[in-house]
Amino acid sequence: MATLAAFLKNLRALGRLEPAMTRSVRLPGFNKTKSLEEEMQALKAKEAVFEERVNIGFKVIPFSISKQEWKRRQKIVQENKDNYELAEKSRNGTLRIQYEEAKQEWRKTYAPMHVKDVADHYGVFRDLYEFGFFHPVIPMDVLYEYDAENFTPVHCGNIILPSEATKAPTVKFQSEPDMLWTLVLTSLDSHLLENDKEYLHWFIGNIKGNQVLTGDVVCDYLQPFLPRGTGYHRFVFVLYKQEGLIDYSKQKLSANSTSLKERTFKTYDFYKEFENMLTPAGLAFFQCTWEDSLVDFYHKTLRMRVPTFEYVHPPEYVPKQVLYPHKEPFNTYLDMYRNPRDIREEVYLKRLKSLNPLEDEPSMPKYPNIYKIPDGTPSWLVDEMRKERFRIGKYKDLQPFSIYPEEEYEDPKVKAWREQEEFQRKWAEQRAARSPQS
């Protein structure tokens, strides 16, 4: 026991070594350390891109308030926090605010800085003007209307589907009657051949006042479109202030042109040509993603096949096969080292055996796992039968073939968890809705 106690005492002493005796905490040599001046320069250094940026728009004076006004606002905020009735309405979801008044106040104060920051976040200025930027001092209301009551507004990056933007939107902004404007709508990510080019979707020049319909239509409106499988694309409205009438005859396209070659556009080159006559003043943009309605648009309007992209995943890492794998199901372990073509051929043959050329292909049962599995079936075979019934995993090729993307079948356990969470959420909402009445 004495020997064991002495050994443990020496072992504990290893944890109390001096820092200088340990290799992991040794300091670098003196020739590798930086001076104080170099450290301060590294802290103050900024990105070169933002150092070279140029404001190509109107000058904006940062909004500021007096000390008395700030105290008055803080007093109102504190009174609202102490107001029990407001707190109760906020808790019950019945509190209503004057949205339009708050929106107009925001537009007069912080909107140009906020919209500019959001556009920087989405890389809008970088892809439009490279090193240029501007503060949107003219607020724009861009509305895609369905009817007299329903419409979809364009804000700063909200998502609008192609079917919601088939017709030209209504654009509203404040202006003096004798002012001239140019409105341009381009897509930053949709060009099929050149990554640094855009497609021109709408171009109206020499707009008098805020009457957009009185301007010269340089390019007719074309709805947003994008290839399948490419995620979200940015579509940007830019409003330019003109110094006088501009001749856009060289930029004018044929009426209702659907030629993508004609609509190829680059905002940087356009602004560089007219920078002495144009100053960007308004901005609004939205994001768009794939929708099945674009299939007809490509076929009937653009008269081309649908461009489709897929992400090619890197090959899955497969460790070296061993004779006795530790805690690995033998069926899935052996499938890892089989040729994927052999597995797919096996599944296709199983599918062909279940088909009758004189009859329609049977659809998947609504409740595939309703049939009882015989008692005594090995667990690995139960798992294989479950996957085959739900057509998941390597049995996904048992699904009927279609040129359109089909909804991916969920794993039954994941589906059960999702349905349970959805049921609990709806039950909680119903209970909350009944609580004020009780």
Residue 124 vs residue 41, higher pLDDT: 124
Note the pLDDT tens digit of each residue in 136-153. Answer: 999 999 999 887 778 899
- DSSP for residue 211: B
Q: What's the rounded Cα separation, in Å, for the pair 120 and 129? A: 12
**Contact criterion met (CB below 8 Å) for 295 and 306:** yes
Tokens for 44, please give them. Answer: 């103050």
Percent of the chain surpassing pLDDT 90: 44
> In 3D, which of 208, 206, 203 has the Cα closest to residue 175?
208
- DSSP for residue 396: G
pLDDT surpassing 70 at residue 8: no
Instruction: Spell 12-31 as b/e; 16+ CB within 10 A means b.
Output: eeeeeeeeeeeeeeeeeeee
For residue 251, the number of C-alpha atoms closer than 13 Å in the C-beta half-sphere is: 24
Q: Give pLDDT, residue 412.
A: 63
What value does the mean pLDDT of the chain take? Answer: 84
> In 3D, which of 190, 183, 188 has the Cα closest to residue 218?
183
CA distances from 418 to 67, 286, 386, 396, 415 (A): 53, 31, 19, 21, 5
* Residues paired with residue 110 on neighbouring β-strands, in sequence order: none
Q: What's the rounded Cα separation, in Å, for the pair 394 and 412? A: 16
Q: What's the rounded Cα separation, in Å, for the pair 406 and 387? A: 18
Residue 17: pLDDT band by 50, 70, 90 thresholds?
very low
Q: Give pLDDT, residue 282.
A: 94
Q: Give pLDDT, residue 357.
A: 83
- DSSP for residue 277: T
Q: Lowest-pLDDT range, 60-64, 84-88, 173-177, 205-209?
A: 60-64
Find the mean pLDDT for residues 84-91: 85
Q: Give pLDDT, residue 31.
A: 52
Map out the domains of the chain with their CATH numbers: 107-302 (3.90.280.10), 331-420 (no CATH)
Find the mean pLDDT for residues 356-381: 86
Collapse the DSSP code of 142 into the 3-class scheme (helix H, G, I; strand E, B; otherwise coil) and give the result.
strand
Residue 22: pLDDT band by 50, 70, 90 thresholds?
very low
CB atoms closer than 10 angstroms to residue 402: 7
The DSSP element (H or E) to which 40 belongs, if any, is helix 36-44
**Contact criterion met (CB below 8 Å) for 281 and 58:** yes
Residue 264: pLDDT band by 50, 70, 90 thresholds?
very high
**Contact criterion met (CB below 8 Å) for 206 and 242:** yes
Collapse the DSSP code of 91 into the 3-class scheme (helix H, G, I; strand E, B; otherwise coil) and give the result.
helix
pLDDT surpassing 70 at residue 102: yes
Note the pLDDT tens digit of each residue in 374-433. Answer: 999 999 999 999 999 988 888 988 877 654 444 555 566 667 777 878 888 888 888 888
Percent of the chain surpassing pLDDT 70: 86
Residue 236: pLDDT band by 50, 70, 90 thresholds?
very high
**Contact criterion met (CB below 8 Å) for 251 and 240:** no
Q: What's the rounded Cα separation, in Å, for the pair 92 and 434? A: 12
Residue 35 vs residue 194, higher pLDDT: 194
CB atoms closer than 10 angstroms to residue 358: 5
Residue 20: pLDDT band by 50, 70, 90 thresholds?
very low
Q: What's the sign of the alpha-carbon dihedral 398, 402, 408, 410?
A: negative
Residue 201: pLDDT band by 50, 70, 90 thresholds?
very high
Look up tokens 């109107």; give the residue. 58
Q: Give pLDDT, residue 429.
A: 85
> In 3D, which of 323, 186, 337 has the Cα closest to residue 266?
186
